[in-house]
């Protein structure tokens, strides 16, 4: 009989992750989501649908959660219809959400009090990585539980990194997104400057990527969104803003200066307040375009023709 894995949180990332578990041969158990479409699609692929997270945990020894923020994770794990309410001995919860490290640590302690294990395993790779099954997981928690669940991780992703005890996966993810956000702001500023001065954006990208200013932002994100001036969400700005604010809160708590991070946070919060939270996080390029009176990228010919 196939190994059973539960899944709670079937949004932009969660649905394809659950689908990849099915493709890998796992028996996947899910519960209703605020959007019924993913549940229906996964059920058609063979997922088993049960009423609540509690029933998910009762039916599967390993449960993956993929939720927007800490409050949703706490309710799913600790609520009266939550995972721990199933009383499943030996339950392993893999939380792939990005949340406050202290919340992750508290949840790990509470899970242990119920005879369960919770590991924090936020991921990187965006929607494209979730669909392709190439996510990178940054994992904190019980090392033995992480080792025992490698087959689950590798059905959803390509790389796993065990980075320490409870909450350390969250710390690494927040450091990653802090660096990504700061770098994105720098890239947008530099490209607005270069293009306004008369340099072709594609030429600037090629030269910089071969030089010391190159980065993952230019390699992975610039060609897909900024260069096309199109911002269909892969990783929504509102989620990056949330992650960045979590990183800044952690820095304040630890007494670490975050001068560049605070500036980046203000930029992201500004775009969010302007109603761009549902767009891809690289939409901050439009702020520099609007203020600078310059267009960094242009729509692809097909997209431009469709709008005419």
Residues known to be catalytic:
173
Distance CA 258, CA 265 (A): 10
Give the separation between CA 130 and CA 20, rounded to whole angstroms. Answer: 8
3-state secondary structure the chain: CCCEEEEECCCCCHHHHHHHHHHCCCEEEECCCCCHHHHHHHHHHCCEECCCHHHHHHHCCEEEECCCCHHHHHHHHHCCCCCHHHCCCCCEEEECCCCCHHHHHHHHHHHHHCCCEEEECCEECHHHHHHHCCEEEEEECCHHHHHHCHHHHHHHEEEEEEEECCCHHHHHHHHHHHHHHHHHHHHHHHHHHHHHHCCCHHHHHHHHHCCCCCCHHHHHHHHHHHCCCCCCCCCEHHHHHHHHHHHHHHHHHHCCCCHHHHHHHHHHHHHHHHHHCCCEHHHHHHHHHHHHCCCCCCCCHHHHHHHC
The radius of gyration of the chain from alpha carbons, rounded to an integer in Å, stands at 21
Q: How far apart are CA 279 and CA 234, in angstroms?
A: 8
What is the rounded CA–CA span in Å between residue 231 and residue 28?
33
């Amino acid at each position: 009989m196939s190994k059973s894995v539960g899944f709670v949180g079937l949004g932009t990332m969660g649905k394809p992750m659950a689908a990849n578990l099915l493709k890998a041969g796992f028996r996947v158990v899910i519960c209703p989501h605020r959007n019924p479409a993913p549940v229906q699609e996964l059920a058609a692929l063979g997922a088993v649908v049960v009423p609540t997270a509690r029933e998910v945990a009762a039916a599967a020894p390993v449960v993956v959660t993929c939720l927007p923020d800490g409050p949703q994770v706490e309710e799913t794990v600790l609520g009266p219809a939550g995972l721990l309410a199933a009383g499943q001995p030996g339950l392993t919860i893999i939380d792939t959400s990005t949340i406050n490290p202290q919340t992750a640590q508290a949840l790990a302690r509470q899970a242990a009090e119920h005879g369960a294990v919770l590991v924090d395993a936020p991921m990187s790779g965006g929607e494209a990585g979730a669909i392709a099954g190439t996510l990178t997981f940054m994992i904190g928690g019980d090392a033995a539980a992480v080792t025992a669940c490698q087959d689950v991780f590798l059905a959803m992703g390509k790389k796993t990194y065990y980075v320490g005890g409870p909450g350390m996966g969250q710390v690494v993810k927040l450091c990653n997104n802090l660096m990504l956000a700061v770098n994105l702001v720098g890239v947008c500023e530099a490209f607005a400057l270069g293009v306004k001065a008369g340099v072709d954006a594609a030429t600037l990208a090629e030269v910089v990527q071969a030089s010391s200013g190159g980065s993952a932002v230019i390699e992975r994100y610039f060609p897909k969104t900024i260069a096309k001036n199109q911002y269909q969400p892969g990783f929504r700005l509102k989620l990056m803003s949330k992650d960045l604010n979590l990183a800044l809160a952690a820095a304040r708590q630890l007494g670490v200066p975050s001068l560049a991070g605070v500036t980046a946070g203000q930029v992201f919060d500004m775009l969010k307040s302007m109603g761009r939270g549902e767009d891809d996080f690289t939409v901050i390029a439009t702020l520099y375009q609007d203020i600078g009176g310059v267009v960094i990228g242009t729509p692809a010919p097909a997209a431009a023709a469709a709008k005419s």
